[in-house]
Amino acid sequence: MRKLLGLALAAPLLLGQAKPVLVPDVSQREIEIAYSFTGADLLLFGAILHAGGSERRAGEPPADIVVVVKGPTESVLVREKQKVAGIWVNADRTRYRSAPSFYAIASSRPIRKIVDARTRAIYELGLDSLQLSPASGAVPAVQARFDAGLVDLKKRSGLYYEAPRAVEITDDVLYRARVNIPARVPVGKFTAETFLIRDGRVLAAAVRDIDIRKSGFERWIARAAERSSFLYGLAAVALSVLLGWAAGAIWRRF
């Protein structure tokens, strides 16, 4: 409420400036994972408030919108296989302290055409600009090989992707983008960042949190496995013995 009030008070000032303002939103603040969850389509939309009115001023180049959806970061160990004595074995490894578990970037134009490498690195825009924070002090060439390996693996499992031109901008004012969240994402706090970029400079940025969690039966099972693992194990064994016995008993009647 206070934020809104502040925005309202600041509105004349903001409008007076040359910088446009971003008003973003997401279709879902919470995603509940239930038994039929096969992934979710997240709609990210909003408006660009241009200085001095809803129209962009003549002579001004059109602005670009970039949307980044990130999953909770996780610490991972990446191993690399090499051929040793005729067979492929895990030979080398690198630890990353904070690789995002999910990363999707949607933009109105290919990201490399919108901003330069430095800006991409600052805002983590694009798969080649992720801050993975490797924990081992390997030589840069080896490090780059591991980075590429990790990103490639995540990309092919659908957990990392770039969607250039996935953001639609209508009349330079309204924008919308669809980001698919696959079923195999981990649960946790996700963030949806929206960037308004013109002339290679980030003019405005906004973040929205998205909470992805298991619900109902799925949540109950996951909790039981974690908290009362002995009972859970007993239940699993009992279930298998019971089903096996029941099948035998039923079968014998026919």
Partner 1 sequence: MDLYLPIASLSVNALVIVLLGLGVGLLSGMFGVGGGFLTTPLLIVYGIPPTVAAASSASQVTGASVSGVFAHLRRDGVDLHMGAVLIAGGVLGSVVGAVLFRLLQSTGQIDTVIAILYVVMLGAIGGLMLSESWSAIRASRSGAPPRARRRRHHPMVAALPLRWRFYRSGLYISPLAPLLLGFATGILTVLLGVGGGFILIPAMLYLLGMPARVVVGTSLFQILFVSAAATMMHALTTKAVDIVLAALLLLGSVVGAQLGARFAQQAKPEYLRLALAVMVLLVAVRIFLGLVWRPDEIFTVELA
Q: Site for partner 1 (CB under 8 A): which residue of 13, 170, 251, 253?
A: 251
Give the range of 43-51, 59-67, 148-156, 161-169 binding partner 1 by CB under 8 A: 148-156
Q: Site for partner 1 (CB under 8 A): which residue of 2, 35, 58, 59?
A: 35
**CA dihedral angle for residue 222, residue 224, residue 230, residue 235, rounded to 10 degrees:** -90
The yes or no reply on residue 76 touching partner 1 (CB under 8 A) is yes
Give the range of 16-24, 80-88, 119-127, 165-173 binding partner 1 by CB under 8 A: 80-88
CA–CA separation, 159 and 39 (whole Å): 11
Q: Site for partner 1 (CB under 8 A): which residue of 146, 160, 161, 195?
A: 146
CA–CA separation, 93 and 82 (whole Å): 11
Could you give the C-alpha distances from 208 to 29, 133, 189, in angstroms and in order? 8, 24, 10
The yes or no reply on residue 144 touching partner 1 (CB under 8 A) is no
Angle at the Cα of 23 (from 125 to 8), degrees rounded to 5?
Answer: 140
Residues 188-227, interacting with partner 1 (CB under 8 A) = 214, 217-219, 221-222, 225-226
Q: How far is Cα of residue 178 from the mean position of the Cα atoms in its chain?
A: 12
CA–CA separation, 22 and 192 (whole Å): 14
Binding site for partner 1 (CB under 8 A): 33-39, 74-81, 83, 86-90, 93, 95, 146, 149-150, 152-154, 183-187, 214, 217-219, 221-222, 225-226, 229-230, 232-237, 239-241, 243-248, 251
